[in-house]
Amino acid sequence: MAQEESVIATGSVEGEKDRTVLETEEGEIVEESGRTPTTPVATTPQHPLEYSWTFWFDNPQAKSKQAAWGSSIRPIHTFATVEEFWGVYNNILHPSKLTPGADFHCFKYKIEPKWEDPVCANGGKWTISCQRGKSDTLWLYTLLAMIGEQFDHGDEICGAVVNVRGKQEKISIWTKNASNEAAQKSIGKQWKEFLDYNETIGFIFHDDAKKQDRFAKNRYTV
C-alpha cells in the first residue's frame, strides 16, 4: 500500500519533548520514557507567544478520496512558545518539498482553516502567488510576522495557508471581518512590506468564494 503523504520530515519533534518536560506537574522531572532521570534536566526558559497556533495539513492523496471538502484536513501540532515553533518548523517539510495538491495551514488555536468556522465565516483572504518551489522563505516570513505579532491588526488574523500546486504555490492570510476595509488593507500592505513583495495582491471575501467559487472577484487590492 502506498505510504500516505506526510508533512513530518523526521521522526521526532523537539517542541513536543520540551512540552512533555515542562508540563509535568508539581516540579517532578520525568523523561519522555517516563523514567526519573539520573542527571538533572535543564529547563531553558521559554518565550511565550501572544496566541497559541496550530499547524494543519491536508494531503493530496486523502483529499482525492474525500467525500466532502475539508474532511481530510488534520491538525498536526499546537505551539505556544517561540521554542516550540522552531521545534516544529525544523522538523516539517517546507512547501517546496510537498507534493502538489498539499495544503499546509497555521491557524490560531481553535480556529479551523475552513470558511465554515464561525470565526472565519465573515472573513476573507489576501493571497500572493509564486512559482512552484519558491515559497519557502515567503511562507517562513509570513509565519514569523503572524506569530510574532508584527501586524497592527493582528487580532483580525485567523491564520495563513500555503497551497502547493503543480505550477505555483499560493500563500493566503485569512482574516475575520472582511467588511472592515481599513483593517484588511492595513494587513495586506504590511504583509507585502514584510515579504518585500511588489506585485498587487487581492482580497476575496469567503462569502463571495462560497457563492461564486473560482469566479469570486477581489473586493480590495493593495
Q: Contact positions toward ligand MGP, by CB under 6 A?
A: 69-70, 114-116, 163, 165, 213-214
State how far the Cα of 51 lies from the Cα of 201, in Å rounded to an integer: 26
Residue 128 CB, nearest approach to ligand MGP (Å): 13
What's the chain's Rg over C-alpha atoms?
Answer: 19
Closest CA to 95 of 55, 56, 64, 132: 132
CB nearer ligand MGP, residue 70 or residue 148: 70
CB nearer ligand MGP, residue 19 or residue 105: 105
CB nearer ligand MGP, residue 35 or residue 167: 167
Closest CA to 139 of 166, 106, 109, 113: 106
Is residue 94 within 8 A of residue 139, CB to CB? The reply is yes
Residue 79 CB, nearest approach to ligand MGP (Å): 23
DSSP 35: P
Residue 216 CB, nearest approach to ligand MGP (Å): 9
CB nearer ligand MGP, residue 116 or residue 181: 116
Residue 89 CB, nearest approach to ligand MGP (Å): 23
Is residue 15 within 8 A of residue 84, CB to CB? The reply is yes
State how far the Cα of 1 lies from the Cα of 188, in Å rounded to an integer: 44
CB nearer ligand MGP, residue 18 or residue 169: 169
Residue 164 CB, nearest approach to ligand MGP (Å): 9
